Amino acid sequence: MNKLTYRCIFCSKTFEVSEFESIRRLKKSKNQLRFCSHKCFTQHKSNIGTKIIKCTNCNHTIIKHISEINKSKSGNHFCSKSCATKYNNTHKTFGTRRSKLEKYLESELTKLYPKLEIQYNNKTTINSELDIYIPSLKLAFELNGIFHYEPIYGQDKLNQIQNNDHRKFQACLEHDIELCIIDTSIIKYLKKETAIKYLNIITTIINNKSKNY
């Protein structure tokens, strides 16, 4: 009996099917002739609606659903939360809420610890923002200004901020992260000597923590 040759559209393997089997498959479904095996047919179905793209940060190949791709307003896609955080920290076009002290600390800590991964305004680790987070040391810092202690915008707003601070502290405990809260409420106008004071506090804690790792 004559056999017909086909190429599987999933694995690209060449396979042969008898004329009788070809007719039987065609009657059942035209798609049956496009795959060399039921396994290839099943895997193809599971990948329908997906697309192979590159991680915006590390360029690794990833598979995402087209609907998820279309939802992205920025057009950026990442293979992990770590890649998303690294990319967002180095490509910020926003962030006016960051104080001058935070910007100063990021600049200086980057110089002092060039080989240490330090994340700023990380929102992925505990689903709440951490001002400074060092994954390898499981160490985080929060710089709490006067809005965390006094009702500048009313008591309701202060209660909301303090409740969020409490949830953030509990989340760090659950993730085994040491959270150091630094009171910066005395700052009205940032002076270099004041900024250096807070930098020294943070570097001392980092250095002491590093000794245990």
Query: pLDDT digit of tens for each residue in the chain (213 aa)?
Result: 578 888 887 777 888 888 777 777 776 665 666 788 878 777 777 666 667 788 888 888 887 776 677 777 778 888 887 777 667 655 554 444 678 899 999 999 999 999 999 999 988 999 999 999 999 999 999 999 998 999 887 899 899 999 999 999 999 999 999 999 999 998 878 899 999 999 999 999 999 999 876
63 part of a folded domain: no
Residues 118 and 185 in one domain: yes
Is 160 within a domain?
yes
Q: Is the dihedral of CA 29, 34, 38, 39 positive or negative?
A: negative
Q: Are residues 109 and 42 in the same domain?
A: no
- Fill in the amino acid letter for 34: R
pLDDT of res. 96: 42
- The whole-number pLDDT of residue 136 equals 95
Give the structural domain span for 31: 3-46
Q: Are the CB atoms for 87 and 78 separated by under 8 Å?
A: yes
* Domain assignment present for 40: yes
For the whole prediction, is pTM greater than 0.85?
no
Contacts of residue 143, defined as CB under 8 A and 6 or more positions apart, other chains included, come to 99, 101, 102, 105, 131, 132, 182, 184, 198
